[in-house]
Amino acid sequence: MVGKLNSNKTETQESKPWALALMGGGARGLAHIGLLEALLENDLVPPIITGTSMGAIIGGLFAVGYLPREIERLSHELSFSRLAKLRQAKIPIPDKLVDYLLLESYQQRLLRQMGRRKGDVLQDKLRELVGEVLIEELPIKFGCNAVDLVSGQEVDFTRGPLYQALRASMAFPFVIEPARLPGRLLVDGGLINNVPIKLARRLGAARVFVPDVHRSLKRMPAKRFDSTLIMVHRLVQVVLTDSTESKLPEADLIIKINPQVDTFDFTRVKQVVALGKKVALAHLDTLKKFAAQGT
């Protein structure tokens, strides 16, 4: 949990605001909620927030005016509740079965997405939460990203309806079906860039703070690769890890937060949120100095 602060700033940088870049991470990303609560309580509200996947959801809701405790409550509605219920089941359910159910469901929903449109419950929920507000109208400057499967390119959202941007950024492969916009099929931005630091700089930030909630990839015994599903799941892990670790060096301040949960373990929301706040408060002096560099 050691913070890394790069103090080599120019006069031009010091005249500009700082940004908070929130990476994706599924349930691990819920630590961002506690961190935001600590920042809010200490008058350290970020002038700029960018996010990917879970980071986009939390950052976007905060930017539109939701308080951290409200976001924590909403996370129960927006998280992968089907999976959380399976994990909480009293009878043992092998991870492979859970993964299979997710993939089978995803394939069926993806086929529907590519065929006749039957509505998007998740997008409707996001629209209900944030209304028709445009990103460029938010009181906190905000941006998030997604990946367009049609072009294979990263797409940054800095304008337009907030609910559409959040829906696109959170479409985690094999769990949530892609979001559809004219000419685009959009999925989780973390596949290409899980830490939108450059986006924060394009929005005007001179210094970018990243709470690092990712877990480094561990070796996986060859004997465990006994199905195509396991291989696909591992491939997604490799891609997400690379798209995180390759971007982190671009940050000016990194504080490690290491929730003891897996990406899809939404059974310990309160503990993860509390850890995020605890770590932020432990580095409060560093955060205050970091924010004050631009004043």
Q: What is the pLDDT of residues 117-135, one digit of tens each?
A: 455 788 999 999 999 999 9
Which residue has 């892609």 as its token pair?
Answer: 178
User: Which comes out higher in pLDDT, residue 88 or 142?
Assistant: 142
Q: How far apart are CA 67 and CA 262, in angstroms?
A: 25
Q: State the catalytic residue, choosing from 148, 188, 252, 265.
A: 188
What DSSP state is assigned to residue 247? Answer: T
pTM of the predicted protein model: 0.84
pLDDT computed for residue 218 by the predictor? 81
15 tagged catalytic: no
What DSSP state is assigned to residue 222? Answer: G
Q: Kind of pairing, strands 48-51 and 18-22? A: parallel
Give per-residue pLDDT as tens, 51-87. 999 999 999 999 999 999 999 998 876 654 444 454 4
Contact call for residues 165 and 118 (beta carbons, < 8 A) = no
181 backbone dihedrals φ, ψ, rounded to 5°: -125, 160
pLDDT computed for residue 235 by the predictor? 80
Give per-residue pLDDT as tens, 133-145. 999 999 999 999 9
53 tagged catalytic: yes
Q: Is the pLDDT of residue 101 over 80?
A: no
Q: Is the pLDDT of residue 217 over 90?
A: no
Q: State the catalytic residue, choosing from 53, 75, 79, 243.
A: 53
pLDDT computed for residue 294 by the predictor? 61
Reported as a pLDDT band with limits 50, 70 and 90, residue 256 is very high
Q: What's 197's domain CATH number?
A: 3.40.1090.10
Q: Is 134 helix (H, G, I), strand (E, B) or coil?
A: strand
Give per-residue pLDDT as tens, 7-55. 444 444 445 899 999 999 999 999 999 999 999 999 999 999 999 999 9
pLDDT computed for residue 225 by the predictor? 75
Domain span including residue 272: 4-292
Q: What is the 3-state secondary structure (H, E, C) of 155-181?
A: EEECCCEHHHHHHHHCCCCCCCCCEEE
Closest CA to 243 of 79, 23, 87, 94: 23
Give ∠ CA 86-260-74 in degrees, rounded to 5: 60
Extract the runs of DSSP E, i.e. beta strands, from the chain: 4-5, 18-22, 48-51, 141-148, 153-157, 179-181, 184-188, 207-212, 253-256
In the chain, the percentage of residues whose pLDDT exceeds 90 is 63
Residue 2 tokens, joined: 């050691």
195 backbone dihedrals φ, ψ, rounded to 5°: -135, 90
Q: Is the pLDDT of residue 210 over 80?
A: yes
Contacts of 231 (CB under 8 A, 6+ apart): 225
Q: Is the pLDDT of residue 188 over 60?
A: yes
Q: Is 184 helix (H, G, I), strand (E, B) or coil?
A: strand
Q: How far apart are CA 267 and CA 27, in angstroms?
A: 9
- The count of structural domains within the chain is 1
Q: Across all residues in the chain, what is the average pLDDT?
A: 84
